[in-house]
Structure 1
Amino acid sequence: MSTKMVVQQPKPVVMTAGLDEWSSSICECDSLNECCFSVWCFPCFACITARDHGECLCLPLLDSFGFIPPITLSMRVSMRRRYGITDTICNDCVYACCCGPCSWCQMRREMKARLHPVTLFCNKAN
């Protein structure tokens, strides 16, 4: 009875976005649960995302005042500065005004991509 021993396993290929770009587009949906949660219970989703970003839990509730949602806009700018993402304030305004839930989903995905890196361990057999 012979056994084969694996000497070398193929290494995983990891594709990442440039460090100065958003890791996902505004309309991308990697988690159906989060996308549905942001659409059906948007205030709760925005508050949880703000809390996880280190802001006051109820801060997004102030977005109802004004034409341009100030908290969504400021959160996008804060996230871009924290992670070194190059984008324009004009894009932030458009996304905050026209695509509120999608904008918050993109910020949530960015936090997951930047704060929860995947660590791969390789166990070598002797």
Structure 2
Amino acid sequence: MYPQSPNAYARPPQQPPAAGIPVSAASNSYYSTGSYTESTNSQLPPPSFHVRPKQPRVAWSTGLCDCTSDVKNCCITCWCPCITFGQIAEILDKGSTSCGASGALYTVVACVTGCACLYSCFYRSKMRHQFLLKDDPCCDCLVHCCCEPCALCQEYRELQNRGFDLLIGWHGNVEQRNRELALTTATAPAVETGMTR
């Protein structure tokens, strides 16, 4: 019938694929990584940078070589460091791992690698971040590699000075603090309300 034009079966022109990050799902508008229009820019929320201020670090309560204050723990750590490490790890892990499991893992790492300080230095870093302690006298790995027993004794004393009883473990400390809290609330004097004659 009618002759068809050669462009009748041609594809309609397509828009190039969008590059960039979608601004909103409803508008399907994009901005490119290089430059974007003012209309797209006005849809973007203002940038917010929530940077927490750096908190000041405090010094350790005892020095690295102050082992004379707790000779019993110093002897245990010298002969069997896995016990001291297990007690420290249980408190720092907040009871998620037991003293025995952490001590056994410490022993396995010591037997396999011959250098248990590769494992224990991570707990020193964890302790410093939890209590905001200074990186003193040097970095954590170096302290544990050069002086493993002294580092473990220092960490043990630090937890003791912060009120933890490492012999009863994390759950024992929680129960003890709950009992103390219950006693303080039970012995609080009752306050009478209203006026009496």
Q: Match for 2:106: what amino acid?
A: P
Larger Rg, first or second structure (1 or 2): 2
> Which range moves more in the overlay, 100-109 or 54-63?
54-63
- TM-score (norm: length of structure 1): 0.65
- Tell me which of 58, 64, 86 is aligned to 1:20: 58
Counterpart residue number, 2:134: 86
The normalised TM-score by structure 2 is 0.44
Corresponding residue number in structure 2 for 1:48? 87
Specify which structure has the bigger relative contact order, considering alpha-carbon pairs within 8 angstroms and separated by 6 or more residues.
1
Partner of 1:115: 163
The alpha-carbon deviation at position 53 of structure 1 amounts to: 2.4
Asked if 1:61 corresponds to 2:97, the answer is: no
Counterpart amino acid of residue 124 in structure 2: R
Cα contact 1:38–1:105 (8 A) shared by 2? yes
1:76 aligns with 2:115: no
Other-structure match for 2:143: 95
Percent identity (aligned): 28
User: AA paired with 1:49?
Assistant: I
- Residues 53 and 111 in structure 1, CA contact (< 8 A), matched pair in contact too: no
1:35 aligned residue (62, 74, 77): 74
Report what 2:152 is aligned to: 104
Q: How many angstroms apart in 2 are the aligned matches of 1:90 and 1:31? A: 23
Find the aligned partners of 1:68 and 1:34 in 2 and give their Cα distance. Answer: 19
Structure 1's consecutive aligned runs of 4 or more residues displaced over 4 angstroms after TM superposition are: none
SS in 2 for 1:20: coil
Q: Is the 8 A contact 1:77 1:89 kept in 2?
A: no
Aligned residues, how many?
99
Q: CA RMSD in A?
A: 2.6
8 Å Cα contact 1:63/1:72 also seen in 2: no
1:69 to partner: Cα distance? 2.3
- Structure 2: stretches of 5+ with no match in the other structure: 1-55, 165-197
Gaps of 5+ in 1: 1-17, 117-126
